[in-house]
Structure 1
């Protein structure tokens, strides 16, 4: 008589199952982290190259790359320096390049799941051990990123009076940047935990402890459907970027936007389409090809906060009204998919509540991830800086994150802020989830199924 395989055991010839040994466990954790960092570094390097960061003097590109990776996981970058009492730089950036973060998250999730393949269930202690080892290796990697994301440039003051004073006073103006260790390590660890939690909430390939298996059908269909909504917006954004590049040229600038911050824009469009609002303002130059309606709304307050909503965007471009039906169609599709992947016999109200919860969590994360706070300024004691001086370098360093800043903008300073109104955005998403979940369940009842679940 053949021995029946235990649940969770490896299939014959499929390789070892069960908790890994000590060395193997740490190697698995290192593989997850290194794969994620490699994907993030590739996307960020291409985006920074397209944004022109490869022309930075003093071999600063690797440090800028490390700083971009720190930003992508929630860290912040500070910019400081100057020329003694003559000039000083005060700047800081908190903005997540979501294209970079998305590439890293998807890669890390895939590698983490592949290490658990051929498993139906896994012990809670084993999963916690894998997560803990991955977190330790991740923190070490983030510490190394912080050390690498530090660089100082020595630059000329410029021409004319500034150059003469600098020569007389013996000034050696410098501008440098550094990743903040506290925010990078703390928020970077939280970013990893969110990625791992989302991986188990979304994927049917992720083995769970036996005690949690009965709950997986209440979470995974709706979570997976909302993930597809976010990825669907990214795909539509890629199509829009390709069309923009073909119609208007500027392929390198458009590529920089896509490789660094495309999800920032399309996920904001998702929230706006649901009726949500963001508040912020823009002072100074913005070099990347951000949609003109968004830039106009942020500039409209002349330094005061403007409201980014469906109405204010439509005042700038009537095509913004299409964000509403787009969000409605994709949310309804999410409702149908979530219901179709759920077991038979689930009441309609449960489908609605589950999708409402998934939509609320998703939009909460979107709101947090799309926050931007960038302040840049150069104070000078009554002396202007010419082309090629400190003002230009300030713009070059900040450009990949907040857009190119020319000398005039650097002299007057500038800010870019964007904050979601979460107290209205999250309830609106939950309401959309309730409606789409109920309608999707009604529609899914008319679709054919194979077996009891999908």
Structure 2
């Protein structure tokens, strides 16, 4: 064996087998989290063995896919329902596992060609698309419910009289699921390359890594810190206030939905929403109090403080975690980076992060039932829940917070640089090598 071959660094394979392993691991992670969350929420009791289909539908919605609901009771009654919500706990689990699988073969390398990275990502994308198509066709089910299950005795009597039961079903929009699922995958892979300091980049992009990678890493740390804090609070609530199954359902299905919403509210953002009928926001209860019973209510620090003054702690939590994220960003940045540059990088990164939260954190769900041609009957037969952000106000506030936190957080990072990082040498000092 030649000395040349011995000196070459080992390059991990990233062919079809490795791509299959990464996709399978991501799907298993999402399926397990979704199944446990739905089981805690009571979905395992659905009739006609619908539970596996509901798990598949949950995974589809977690990557941006569309699930359509329907229901009817023949000529007696029909239902109208819609659901737009992303279970971000499932999304986060899949993103972390898929990103790890994508990056693993690329470790220990400084540079990779654009063609190599594109080929590796394309293999994953092909298998991911096939998996999405399989999930889309699996996430279809129609099952029967007694009209009495809706809690209305009159409907139960009608159903018993005419021998009619309610048929409820859901299906997926395959083209939309494929498109948004691939878009989600592209975002995960690009973000993985941006965040990981050990991942190789094409030579033409290396000049961007000093400004982009530290900020992207800091934002991921910030979001994960909020999720971790929310999980701890959820476990305390489960242990002290009862209803542990409901709390675990929230943790396993929608914890990022809640804590990232809290992040934006702590920055001063406003969300508009309404809660009507049997729907409700699972935790904390103060959100439900603000939104219920109004045509459209504002959800922000002021309206929440009218019900619970402890909401002002969100501002303090935001300030502490944003300063910590800014410190992490500055510590991973080159030592020559100026304080104003840290501020700009943090502002842009936080604004993009809040924009992402506004896009994925929306909720829009409704259901209604008409009987014998009579429209929405109200009461327990219909309901609506929606929550939408004032996007550009939230993004503007994020820019201001990011500028301030980036500047202040970068100051203590100067004496805490990584070992081996030094400031730029004065003119003339680099002209001579070290003496021997």
Query: With structure 2 as the length reference, what TM-score do the two structures score?
Result: 0.90
What is the rounded CA distance, in whole Å, between the counterparts of 2:348 and 2:35 in structure 1? 36
Hey, what does 1:254 align to over in structure 2? 247
Hey, what does 2:94 align to over in structure 1? 104
Q: CA deviation at 1:310?
A: 1.1
Q: CA deviation at 1:285?
A: 2.1
Q: CA deviation at 1:214?
A: 2.2
- Residue 398 of structure 2 is aligned with which of 416, 426, 429? 429
1:162 to 1:450, Cα distance in 2 relative to 1, 3 A: closer
- State the SS of the aligned residue for 2:302: helix
Q: CA deviation at 1:26?
A: 2.2
Hey, what does 1:193 align to over in structure 2? 186
1:129 to 1:2, Cα distance in 2 relative to 1, 3 A: closer
Q: CA deviation at 1:416?
A: 1.0
Q: CA deviation at 1:192?
A: 0.9
**1:56-105 deviation digits (Å, cap 9, x = unpaired):** 11100001001111111112222112112211111121101000100000
What is the rounded CA distance, in whole Å, between the counterparts of 1:160 and 1:267 in structure 2? 41
- State the SS of the aligned residue for 1:153: strand
Q: Which runs of 5+ in 1 are unaligned?
A: 384-406
- Residue 333 of structure 2 is aligned with which of 329, 332, 342? 342
Q: CA deviation at 1:206?
A: 1.3
Hey, what does 1:50 align to over in structure 2? 40
Hey, what does 1:59 align to over in structure 2? 49
1:318 correspondence with 2:287: no
Moved more, 338-347 or 161-170: 161-170
Hey, what does 2:83 align to over in structure 1? 93
1:164 to 1:271, Cα distance in 2 relative to 1, 3 A: closer
Hey, what does 2:66 align to over in structure 1? 76
Contact 1:378/1:410 (CA < 8 Å) preserved in 2? no
Contact 2:60/2:136 (CA < 8 Å) preserved in 1? yes
Hey, what does 1:398 align to over in structure 2? none
- State the SS of the aligned residue for 2:306: helix
Q: CA deviation at 1:442?
A: 1.6
- State the SS of the aligned residue for 1:35: helix
Hey, what does 1:228 align to over in structure 2? 221
**1:352-395 deviation digits (Å, cap 9, x = unpaired):** 11111111111111111111111111211289xxxxxxxxxxxx
Q: Which runs of 5+ in 2 are unaligned?
A: 424-436
Aligned residues: 418
Moved more, 149-158 or 92-101: 149-158
- Residue 372 of structure 2 is aligned with which of 381, 390, 393? 381
Moved more, 188-197 or 264-273: 188-197
What is the rounded CA distance, in whole Å, between the counterparts of 1:160 and 1:291 in structure 2? 32
1:449 to 1:138, Cα distance in 2 relative to 1, 3 A: closer
What is the rounded CA distance, in whole Å, between the counterparts of 2:350 and 2:270 in structure 1? 16
1:153 correspondence with 2:152: no
Query: With structure 1 as the length reference, what TM-score do the two structures score?
Result: 0.87
1:126 correspondence with 2:109: no
Contact 1:254/1:288 (CA < 8 Å) preserved in 2? no
Structural RMSD (CA): 2.4
1:410 to 1:163, Cα distance in 2 relative to 1, 3 A: closer
Contact 1:364/1:426 (CA < 8 Å) preserved in 2? yes
Hey, what does 2:275 align to over in structure 1? 282
Contact 1:74/1:94 (CA < 8 Å) preserved in 2? no
What is the rounded CA distance, in whole Å, between the counterparts of 1:113 and 1:279 in structure 2? 39
Contact 1:94/1:373 (CA < 8 Å) preserved in 2? yes
- State the SS of the aligned residue for 2:384: strand
- State the SS of the aligned residue for 1:57: coil
Q: CA deviation at 1:132?
A: 1.8
What is the rounded CA distance, in whole Å, between the counterparts of 1:245 and 1:28 in structure 2? 39
Contact 1:351/1:441 (CA < 8 Å) preserved in 2? yes
Q: CA deviation at 1:447?
A: 2.8
Q: CA deviation at 1:280?
A: 1.1
Hey, what does 1:307 align to over in structure 2? 298
What is the rounded CA distance, in whole Å, between the counterparts of 1:85 and 1:69 in structure 2? 34
What is the rounded CA distance, in whole Å, between the counterparts of 2:64 and 2:422 in structure 1? 38
